[in-house]
Amino acid sequence: MKNAKNIKACITAIGGYVPEDILTNEMLEKMVDTNDEWIVSRTGIKERRILKDPKKPTSYMGIKASNKVIEERNIDPMSIDLVITATVTPDLPVASTAAYIATEIGAKNAFSFDIQAACSGFLYGMSVAKSFIESGRYQRVLLVGADKMSSIVDYTDRATCILFGDGAGAALFEASENEFGYEDEFLQTDGNGRNYLKIDAGGSLFPPSHETLDKKMHNLYQEGQVVFKYAVSNMLEATQKIMERNNLKGNDINYLVPHQANKRIIDSIASKTDIDSDKILMNIERYGNTTAATIPLLLNDNKASFKKGEKFIFIAFGGGFSWGASYLTWSI
Amino acid sequence: MKNAKNIKACITAIGGYVPEDILTNEMLEKMVDTNDEWIVSRTGIKERRILKDPKKPTSYMGIKASNKVIEERNIDPMSIDLVITATVTPDLPVASTAAYIATEIGAKNAFSFDIQAACSGFLYGMSVAKSFIESGRYQRVLLVGADKMSSIVDYTDRATCILFGDGAGAALFEASENEFGYEDEFLQTDGNGRNYLKIDAGGSLFPPSHETLDKKMHNLYQEGQVVFKYAVSNMLEATQKIMERNNLKGNDINYLVPHQANKRIIDSIASKTDIDSDKILMNIERYGNTTAATIPLLLNDNKASFKKGEKFIFIAFGGGFSWGASYLTWSI
């Protein structure tokens, strides 16, 4: 859908944070029955960062990433109107992680809430942030994508423990001062997907109990092949829809910014949309799947290269199922 | 903040659902050391609804409420663009409850996500829904507030088990066809509040373990007096701010729609803002605190009386802390 109004939202600053501790494929070989060659060929992942200190929850990383945004943009945190955190690993179940991050970074005039759209969390959060800017009511919206995946991964399950890492990224959304900014989006969900990618217990369907713990129902479960199939076909459809209705060919796109779940998924989509591999931002090799943090970490690692007017396609797929694509022209 | 643009968002249909099973104060007297007179005088609550079937999670109620919205507005669910669910008791931790609700009600063109702002969830969700409408990109946004509080309440803790009930409500947001609709809002959070109103375990700070279960860290905890004090002073400030900047006196307001946590909190705010008690919508007596469902259930129970142009003030306070007030003129 095109925005019918004349205010455009843009990203004016980006920050990122990953923990220092590295979990390599070689280290995983000693923990479960797996090996480096298998992991790299199937997923593209060589290592991930892990926030080892059990006293440090997701907000610890979100605060670090957010403070870098404030520093980069050189703004008073009191000027931030809204803090949104996309996460599947909130610090606590009832108080939002965003509220804690907002207070800790000094954004005391902001209101804040968490959104939950799994691996599409940051992509969806961009849509929420830009809507607040486009409404004209707010000037500065901080979007944080942060996940401590190590808090929900079962490190005895070789199918999932190789995939995930911890990290956080943040982006500041403001009204664009030129013709560039958030252009278009195509976002979709399918609730049947929750049979294939989920954590069974911890919600109202299976509240936590000794039985749910003994049955390992609090850890991430996915049917890898089903998820792979849906991820490729749905992200491809979303990408093609966005490219078609904005008259974009593969050559027109400067950066494809894909959620980092699996290198083979991303390569498959890129090849079918004629987007050259050198235009695809990737960090899965170093970080694994950091869920809501993959996209802002990609932006943070590459921001020095971005130029005004360059065209970005963002894509994601994840739990729900939730997926989509969005189109942004760089504004600063 | 005023909307700088010319599209106004309004509510065009409302639905609600509460389970059939009733938990009365008399029944609670047999479960914990409490009594009807004490509960009524301190909270205003006489009974609550409980979704007893353990196989029925929060979405069960959200789907019922959403289907009533679709029926009332007589629309094709395929015309809904976005489904947002505000909840602290999602069905599952990773797949959003909104995605499941959207699919089950046939809103297959919609994207969807959950938001988490505790007892302010619906108030904040209204702000999100109206931003999507005001952006001009989307025409129909369904906001669902649903919580199965019985899935997180400890029914041996007399301080909290008397307070909460289960329920769901939903409202459809569309662009207003006249001068009325969502007018203004003042929303705030304070992350220090999570020390006083929280569930300790189940997030990344205390992942579920046999120890967290044995220590009852998965149940709702609040320091009642601290929460009471902050709730009154912060909601009062937000209400006064909204009334002042929209030139509203107590007499001008047709309906005060307060989150239902405690009748004494609500009475205190009403008396300090000169809003007559007959203008205050209440359902706490029958439902207790249904968290994200209190406000849409109030609207649903009273919608037959609402007239075009009538002035509504919505207020809420809850976990985070999160709180605020919003102002809406009825548009249909």
* Same domain (yes/no): B171, B186: no
Going by the DSSP 8-state scheme, the letter that residue B244 receives in this structure is H
Structural domain contains residue B1:
no
CA distance B123 to A171: 25
Q: Confirm or reject contact between B77 and chain A (CB < 8 A).
A: no
Residues of A in Cβ contact (< 8 Å) with B190: 99, 103, 108
- Is A99 within 8 Å of B189 when comparing Cβ atoms? yes
Structural domain contains residue A1:
no
* Same domain (yes/no): B31, B139: yes
Structural domain contains residue B59:
yes
- Is A95 within 8 Å of B198 when comparing Cβ atoms? yes
Please choose, from the candidates B197, B199, B276, the residue with its C-alpha nearest in 3D space to the C-alpha of residue B231: B197
* Same domain (yes/no): B325, B207: yes
* Same domain (yes/no): A113, A136: yes
Q: Confirm or reject contact between A190 and chain B (CB < 8 A).
A: yes
Q: Confirm or reject contact between A92 and chain B (CB < 8 A).
A: yes
- Give the active site residues of B: 119, 259, 289
- Is A202 within 8 Å of B204 when comparing Cβ atoms? no
Structural domain contains residue B2:
no
Q: How far is A27 from chain B (nearest CA, A)?
A: 23
* Torsion, CA B263, CA B265, CA B271, CA B274, rounded to 10: -100
- B222-261 core/surface letters (b: 16 or more CB in 10 A; e: else): beeeebbebbbebbbebbbbbbeeeebebeebbbbbbbbb
- Is B91 within 8 Å of A189 when comparing Cβ atoms? no
CA distance B96 to B78: 19
Q: Looking at chain B from residue 3 to 42, which residues have their Cβ under 8 Å from any Cβ of chain A?
A: 3-5, 7
CA distance A170 to A326: 17
Q: What is the DSSP string of B300-324?
A: HHHGGG--TT-EEEEEEEETTTEEE
Q: Which residues pair with B258 in a beta bridge?
A: B315
Residue in A with minimal Cα distance to B214? A210
Count helices and strands in chain A by DSSP H and E runs? 10, 13
Residues of B in Cβ contact (< 8 Å) with A121: 113
Residue in A with minimal Cα distance to B55? A205
Alpha helices in chain A (DSSP H): 25-29, 36-43, 58-73, 97-104, 121-134, 210-214, 224-245, 263-272, 284-287, 294-302
* B-interface mutation test, from A189, A196, A198, most B Cβ less than 10 A away: A189
* Same domain (yes/no): B33, B149: yes
Residues A189-223 have pLDDT tens digits of: 999 999 999 999 999 999 999 999 999 999 888 99
Structural domain contains residue A231:
yes
Is B203:A199 a contact under the CB 8 Å cutoff?
Answer: no
Please choose, from the candidates A94, A107, A23, A24, the residue with its C-alpha nearest in 3D space to the C-alpha of residue A62: A107
- Is B151 within 8 Å of A190 when comparing Cβ atoms? no
* Same domain (yes/no): A314, A168: no
List Cβ neighbours of B27 (8 Å cut-off, separation of 6 or more). Answer: none
Please choose, from the candidates A69, A109, A110, A44, the residue with its C-alpha nearest in 3D space to the C-alpha of residue A296: A69
- Read off the CATH number of the domain in which B268 is found: 3.40.47.10
Amino acid at B143: L
Structural domain contains residue B131:
yes
- What pLDDT shows up at residue A6? 82
- Give the active site residues of A: 119, 259, 289
The number of C-beta contacts closer than 8 angstroms across A and B is: 292
Q: Confirm or reject contact between A96 and chain B (CB < 8 A).
A: yes
* Nearest Cβ partner for A204 among B5, B151, B188: B151
Residue in A with minimal Cα distance to B130? A135
Q: How far is A302 from chain B (nearest CA, A)?
A: 28
* Domain termination residue (choose one: A175, A197, A227): A175
> For residue A120, how many C-alpha atoms fall within 13 Å in the half-sphere facing its CB?
34
- Angle at the Cα of A22 (from A18 to A23), degrees rounded to 5? 125
* Domain termination residue (choose one: A175, A200, A221): A175
CA distance B164 to B148: 9
Structural domain contains residue B67:
yes
Ranges under pLDDT 70 in chain A: 1-5
CA distance B189 to A84: 12
* Domain termination residue (choose one: A151, A175, A199): A175
* Same domain (yes/no): B154, B186: no
Residues of A in Cβ contact (< 8 Å) with B201: 93, 208
Question: Which H or E run includes B123?
Answer: helix B121-134
For chain B, how many structural domains are there in total?
2
CA distance B131 to B113: 15
Residue in A with minimal Cα distance to B292? A94
Question: Which H or E run includes B125?
Answer: helix B121-134
Q: Looking at chain B from residue 130 to 169, which residues have their Cβ under 8 Å from any Cβ of chain A?
A: 130-132, 134-138, 148, 151-152
Residues of B in Cβ contact (< 8 Å) with A151: 203-204, 207
* Same domain (yes/no): B96, B208: no
Is A80:A108 a contact under the CB 8 Å cutoff?
Answer: no
Please choose, from the candidates A16, A277, A313, A309, the residue with its C-alpha nearest in 3D space to the C-alpha of residue A165: A16
- Is A4 within 8 Å of B108 when comparing Cβ atoms? no
- What pLDDT shows up at residue B4? 57
* Same domain (yes/no): A207, A294: yes
List Cβ neighbours of A247 (8 Å cut-off, separation of 6 or more). Answer: none
| pTM recorded for the entire structure | 0.97
pLDDT tens across the length of chain B (332 residues)? 556 568 999 999 999 999 999 999 999 999 999 999 999 999 999 999 999 999 999 999 999 999 999 999 999 999 999 999 999 999 999 999 999 999 999 999 999 999 999 999 999 999 999 999 999 999 999 999 999 999 999 999 999 999 999 999 999 999 999 999 999 999 999 999 999 999 999 999 999 999 999 999 998 889 989 999 999 999 999 999 999 999 999 999 999 999 999 999 999 998 999 999 999 999 999 999 999 999 999 999 999 999 999 999 999 999 999 999 999 999 99
- Is A102 within 8 Å of B202 when comparing Cβ atoms? no
Structural domain contains residue A3:
no
ipTM of the complex as predicted:
0.97
* Same domain (yes/no): A229, A115: no
Domain extent, residue A202, equals 182-329
* Same domain (yes/no): B144, B284: no
- Is B128 within 8 Å of A130 when comparing Cβ atoms? no
Six-digit token pair at A247? 């008259």
> For residue A137, how many C-alpha atoms fall within 13 Å in the half-sphere facing its CB?
28
* Same domain (yes/no): B201, B77: no
- Is B95 within 8 Å of A319 when comparing Cβ atoms? yes
| Pairing status of strand B82-86 against strand B141-148 | parallel
The residue to which tokens 């709180």 are assigned: B323
Six-digit token pair at A188? 């979709």
* B-interface mutation test, from A186, A205, A210, A317, most B Cβ less than 10 A away: A205
CA distance B116 to A276: 39
